[in-house]
Amino acid sequence: MTPNKRSNRSDGLVVGYVRVSTERQATEGQSIDAQEDRIRAYARANGLTVDKIYKDKGASGKDVNRPSLARLLDDLDRIAVVIVYKFDRISRSVVDLYSLLERFQAAGVAFKSVSEGFVDTGSAIGRFIMSVLASLAQMERELIGERTKDTLAHKREKGEHCGRIPFGFRMADDGRFEKDPEQQKAIARIKRLRRNGRSERDIARRLNLPKSTIHVIASTRQNGRNGRCVSRLHG
């Protein structure tokens, strides 16, 4: 997949993104401060000045649902360069990494990694790496699809229901859904904010929730469910 490309722009912010998910990382050279120091040193060595650092503490890299990363993506129209210490700081998933790089490229934002010097989407080698990542991302999607298909078939054979737990509910001990009090409060707040004219994007930012979740809650009526359900499937 090739995005609508814009050439990298020079009139924008130079920003860094840092993330730690565990205390072990924080004490073994990958702390927030250590990553930030390396990003700023890299920027200086390349004639750049870092304007802002986006920080996600205690956040897993297995998906992209992180508050500071969401803010960075919202600010892409003001950003020229994104620098990370290692590219696994922004994502550990090839699919998610490629998707993010596509968004950066489409917005004319250069992506640079301190540790992996070849990961520079403003260079020919960086664009080649993008094409390799695209192939790996497609393979990962297909492998996930195959594993999910096999798992669902196995569960159907055992008579189990499969699916995701809807926002606002949780799994009870008997395998049925029950309302989650805290998430039900969030649903009520979302609906109230929408009635007051707040946009879905604004609500998502306020509550640190994906915009897609806000859209579903704001546009549909959630009902309790009586059927059994299994936990989310992981690739």
pLDDT in the model for residue 86? 85
Instruction: List, for residues 125-159, the tens digit of each pLDDT value.
Output: 777 776 776 677 677 767 777 877 777 676 667 65
> Which structure tokens are listed for 19?
């993330």
Percent of the chain having pLDDT more than 70?
A: 73
pLDDT in the model for residue 10? 61
When pLDDT is averaged across residues 84-109 and rounded to a whole number, the result is 85
- Residue 138 and residue 98 in contact, taking contact as beta carbons nearer than 8 Å: no
Give residue 196's Cα distance to chain centre. Answer: 28
pLDDT in the model for residue 129? 73
pLDDT in the model for residue 115? 83
CB-based contacts of 60: which residues, under 8 Å, 6+ apart? 21
**Catalytic (active-site) positions:** 21
Could you tell me the pLDDT band of residue 4, with boundaries at 50, 70 and 90?
very low
Mean pLDDT across the chain: 78
When pLDDT is averaged across residues 187-207 and rounded to a whole number, the result is 91
Q: Does domain 13-133 fall into CATH 3.40.50.1390? A: yes
pLDDT in the model for residue 90? 86
- Strand ranges (E), the chain: 13-20, 52-57, 79-84, 110-113, 169-171, 177-179
When pLDDT is averaged across residues 90-113 and rounded to a whole number, the result is 86
Per DSSP, the residues of 179-207 read: E-HHHHHHHHHHHHHHHTT--HHHHHHHH
Q: Which of 16-20, 157-161, 176-180 has the highest mean pLDDT?
A: 16-20
pLDDT in the model for residue 59? 78
H or E stretch covering 88? none
Question: Which regions of the chain carry the CATH code 3.40.50.1390?
Answer: 13-133
Instruction: Specify the pTM.
Output: 0.54
